[in-house]
Amino acid sequence: MDYNVIIIGAGPGGIFSAYELTKIAPELKIAVFETGNELKKRRCPIDGDKIKTCINCKSCSIMSGFGGAGAFSDGKYNITNDFGGTLFEYIGKRKALELMHYVDDINLRHGGEGTKLYTTAGSKFKTQCMQNDLHLLDASVRHLGTDINYVVLENLYNELQDKVEFHFNTPVEHIEVLENGYRISCKNGAYDCEKCIVSVGRSGSKWMEQVCDELQIPTKSNRVDIGVRVELPAEIFAHLTDELYESKIVYRTKQYGDRVRTFCMNPKGAVVNENTNGIITVNGHSYEDPKKQTNNTNFALLVAKHFSEPFKDSNGYGESIARLSNMLGGGVIVQRFGDLIRGRRSTPSRIEESFTIPTLSATPGDLSLVLPKRILDGIVEMIYALDKIAPGTANDDTLLYGVEVKFYNMEVEVDEHLESRYKGLYVIGDGSGITHSLSHASASGVYVSRMIAEGL
């Protein structure tokens, strides 16, 4: 055997697997294989000047490399079982929360000290939301911010690099089952290990599907969330964001009974492009450092779409809608809310005249040509509902960027140890379809490492 444990993917799932193994079983020989670069070499070429839009790099620096999709994220670690994944269904609610707190402690010890932990407990907004047919979900959220999140990752890498063998720019192509372990093959060779942790995140979803096909590991999938990113002056949501930082609010539409929810709220943040398998969608983040903050707050409004038989390709559906916006706008489209409800496109001059200054250079256009009517109707209804608790949300100058798509990896069949039908082959993090967040993905890494250390 070349290694006791091979970890595929250096996102939060992979990093916390490696971290925990080095702590509790330092004698083990561990390797991490990662498609992308080490942290300091991760750089997206879009500079807003010479390169304005995505040029489809071989490996996307935003999604891949040490830190995974979370490296340049807002670093919001939500400590809750109410959203961010269904890890608790496998390991129990108490254990899941305990591990999320454990991860939080590690982040604090690696540079996150002094960052704020917000909580919905005892908040007056819960009542105010309910009185307006909106539902605020329970959570505590540690906001590291993009800047501190980076420092934490840097410190974790410095600590791990002497104890773990990192193979960057080395995508794993295949996993082969051996009699007493696993062989992973990459362009530069093959490596054998006793135990293998697969933590390939969202960017590895297609590859994960291929592995499950090859190894006949059952999967299921049928959900995608589609919507827009809303951007408005920070003052409009300040009363909520000052107290809660992020509020996850759910609304059931009157017209269709669909659920629309807020997602990934970034006070004084910036809207950014995201590249998933070559398709440009929208996302957002914000900095802890006041000097880097903007005057706007952004958040997503998403509608969950579940499909029933015979249709199975929910991600393909989301991709097609995102492709449509890329076709019309050459990337992400931006539209003023006032233009949308008047049934007209936004033009460069209408955006220029807007009192809300966009933080992302996107193409002014018409989102009603992209989003299915039912989804768009739900979003408009929710904007009016939010206007009751945050007056100004439904202003003409509120900006909507489209499309935001939250792809869900198909759910890989694993047991309560997050172990596949093959003993010693674990599938964790967002790549398993079980987690959808930094805290849940990290917690799943700690969890399997403890299982492995016990077994070995």
Ligand X SMILES: Cc1cc2nc3c(=O)[nH]c(=O)nc-3n(C[C@H](O)[C@H](O)[C@H](O)COP(=O)(O)OP(=O)(O)OC[C@H]3O[C@@H](n4cnc5c(N)ncnc54)[C@H](O)[C@@H]3O)c2cc1C
Of 14, 267, 331, 378, the one binding ligand X by CB under 6 A: 14
Q: Could you give the CA distance from residue 77 to residue 268 in angstroms, rounded to a whole number?
A: 18
Closest CB 184 distance from ligand X, rounded Å = 8
- Dihedral of alpha carbons 64, 24, 440, 125, sign: negative
Closest CB 75 distance from ligand X, rounded Å = 6
Size of the site for ligand X (CB under 6 A): 43
The residue (of 44 and 369) whose beta carbon lies closer to ligand X is 44
Residue 172, interface with ligand X (CB under 6 A)? yes
Burial class of residue 391, CB neighbours in 10 A (0-12, 13-18, 19+): exposed
Smallest Cα–Cα separation from 156: which of 20, 8, 59? 20
Residue 18, interface with ligand X (CB under 6 A)? no
Applying CB under 6 A, which part among 194-202, 317-325, 362-370, 379-387 lies near ligand X? 194-202
Dihedral angle at the C-alpha atoms of 25, 27, 32, 37, nearest 10 degrees? 110
The residue (of 74 and 319) whose beta carbon lies closer to ligand X is 74
Q: Could you give the CA distance from residue 435 to residue 134 in angstroms, rounded to a whole number?
A: 25
Site for ligand X in 281-340 (CB under 6 A): 283, 285
* Number of helical (H) and strand (E) elements in the chain, helices listed first: 12, 22
Residue 436, interface with ligand X (CB under 6 A)? yes
Closest CB 387 distance from ligand X, rounded Å = 25
Site for ligand X in 76-135 (CB under 6 A): 76, 78, 84
Q: What is the DSSP string of 135-193?
A: EEPP-EEEE-HHHHHHHHHHHHHHHHTTTSEEETT----EEEE-SSSEEEEETTEEEEE
Of 3, 4, 11, 142, the one binding ligand X by CB under 6 A: 11
Applying CB under 6 A, which part among 28-36, 48-56, 354-362, 390-398 lies near ligand X? 28-36
Q: Could you give the CA distance from residue 84 to residue 315 in angstroms, rounded to a whole number?
A: 18
Smallest Cα–Cα separation from 91: which of 390, 436, 435? 435
Residue 207, interface with ligand X (CB under 6 A)? yes
Residue 204, interface with ligand X (CB under 6 A)? yes
The residue (of 85 and 329) whose beta carbon lies closer to ligand X is 85
Token pair, residue 250, equals 């759910």
The residue (of 248 and 450) whose beta carbon lies closer to ligand X is 248
Token pair, residue 153, equals 């990752």
Applying CB under 6 A, which part among 11-19, 305-313, 332-340, 396-404 lies near ligand X? 11-19
Smallest Cα–Cα separation from 100: which of 141, 64, 59? 141
Closest CB 413 distance from ligand X, rounded Å = 17
Residue 8, interface with ligand X (CB under 6 A)? yes
Closest CB 253 distance from ligand X, rounded Å = 26
Applying CB under 6 A, which part among 291-299, 352-360, 418-426, 427-435 lies near ligand X? 427-435
Residue 267, interface with ligand X (CB under 6 A)? no
Closest CB 237 distance from ligand X, rounded Å = 16
The residue (of 84 and 318) whose beta carbon lies closer to ligand X is 84
DSSP 8-state code for residue 85? B
Of 438, 446, 448, 452, the one binding ligand X by CB under 6 A: 438
Closest CB 122 distance from ligand X, rounded Å = 23
Of 129, 139, 200, 230, the one binding ligand X by CB under 6 A: 200
Residues 168-203 as b/e (b if ≥16 CB within 10 A, e otherwise) read bbbbbeebeeeeebbbbebeeeebbbbbbbbbbbbb
Applying CB under 6 A, which part among 30-38, 222-230, 309-317, 392-400 lies near ligand X? 30-38
- CB-CB contact of 280 with 274 (8 Å): yes
Across the strands, what pairs with 433? none
Applying CB under 6 A, which part among 33-41, 174-182, 318-326, 416-424 lies near ligand X? 33-41
Token pair, residue 368, equals 């009603």
CA 398 to chain centroid: 24
Contact string 65-84 vs ligand X (x = CB under 6 A): x--xxx--xxxx-x-----x
Smallest Cα–Cα separation from 78: which of 108, 20, 118, 111? 118
Helix (H) or strand (E) holding 325: helix 314-329
Closest CB 256 distance from ligand X, rounded Å = 28
Residue found under tokens 């982040």: 107
Rule CB under 6 A: which residues touch ligand X? Answer: 8-14, 33-36, 64-65, 68-70, 73-76, 78, 84, 171-172, 199-204, 207, 264, 274, 283, 285, 429-431, 436-439, 441
